[in-house]
Structure 1
C-alpha cells in the first residue's frame, strides 16, 4: 500500500515541524509545508517544491490551520475546486462550533484540535 501523502500548512513553524515529525513517525509521507492560504493553494495544485526528493507532488491530504494568513476560508474556496484531489483537515485551537460548521460546509473533511 502506498503511503498517504500529506502537506502541513500552519504559520507557526515550531508547531508545523512537530506535526510533520508526528506524521512522518506514523508512516505518512510529508510532501510539502506552508505558512499561508497561498501556500495551501499552491500545495493543492502541486506547485511548491516537495519535501521529498521529488520535484513536486500533489498531496492526498492537506492539514490546514484555521487561522492562517490569507484566511482558511479563502484557501478552502480555492482548494475545493473539484478538479483538485486533496482532502483538507482543518487544524484548530478551539472547538468553535460556528467556525467548524463553516469549514465543513466549505469542503473540509474534518478537523483536528491542536490540543
Structure 2
C-alpha cells in the first residue's frame, strides 16, 4: 500500500519534529517541513502531499489563509491549534479543513485525523453563522497585541500593512465592545480568545 504523503507546517522546530516522528511511526511519509505560511505554500507546491498539517497561527501567511490555498489545489488539511475554541474551529471549517486537532491531544488523535482526511472525510461540522465573532486574522492580531507587540511589528509578522492591522484591531475592539487597547486585551483574555502565560483574569491590565 502506498503511504499517505504528508507535509508539516509549524513555526516551532520541536513541534514539527515531534509531529514528523508520530506520523512516520504511524506509517505515513513526511515529504517535508516548513516554518511559515509562505514556506508551507512553496513546500506543498513542490511536493504535492496528500495531507498538510498546519499550525493555526503561522507567521507570514496564516494557517487559515494557507488552508484555503491548499484546498484549491485539492490537498486535504488538518489544522493544529493550542486553542480549544468554537470560533477557531469554525474558521478552520470555513477554510475547508478536514479536521481540527489540539496540540494537547494524544498522538492517536492526530494519526486518526490525518488518516481520515486522506480518505476524503471531513470531521469538522459546518460553522454556524455568527457576525459578532472574531475572524482568525482579528484573533491573531489581538493575540500579538496581548503579547505586547507594536502595530508595526504585527504588520511585519503577518506580512500586512500597518493600516490593515489597525483595521483588524479596530474591528475586534468593536465586536468585543472595547474602547481601549487594555480593555480589548483584557476582554479577549477573559473570554479565552487569546492566551498569555500567568494571566489571572479579572481587571488586570496587560
Q: TM-score, normalised by structure 2?
A: 0.48
Determine the structure 2 residue equivalent to 1:61.
Answer: 51
Q: Deviations over 1:23-44 (max 9, x none)?
A: 1011100001001111221122
Alignment check: 8 A CA contact 1:5 1:61 kept: yes
Q: Which has the higher contact order (CA 8 A, sep 6+)?
A: 1
Give yes or no for the alignment of 1:87 onto 2:42: no
- Partners of 1:93 and 1:38 in 2: CA distance: 21
SS of aligned partner of 2:96: coil
- Partners of 1:61 and 1:42 in 2: CA distance: 15
Give yes or no for the alignment of 1:11 onto 2:11: yes
SS of aligned partner of 1:39: helix
Larger CA deviation: 7-16 vs 33-42: 33-42
Could you list the runs of 5+ residues in structure 1 that have no partner in the other structure?
Answer: 47-56
Report the CA distance between 1:45 and its aligned residue: 1.5
Alignment check: 8 A CA contact 1:43 1:59 kept: no
SS of aligned partner of 2:6: strand
1:1-115 matched pairs, under 5 angstroms: 1-46=1-46, 57-69=47-59, 70-81=61-72, 84-115=73-104
Structure having the larger proportion of residues in helix: 2
Alignment check: 8 A CA contact 1:6 1:59 kept: yes
Report the CA distance between 1:85 and its aligned residue: 2.5
Alignment check: 8 A CA contact 2:5 2:49 kept: yes
- Partners of 1:44 and 1:108 in 2: CA distance: 15
Structure having the larger proportion of residues in strand: 1
CA RMSD of aligned residues (A): 1.1
Q: Deviations over 1:5-59 (max 9, x none)?
A: 000100000111010011101110000100111122112212xxxxxxxxxx310
Alignment check: 8 A CA contact 2:76 2:98 kept: yes
Alignment check: 8 A CA contact 2:79 2:100 kept: yes
Runs of 4+ in 1 over 2 A off after TM superposition: none
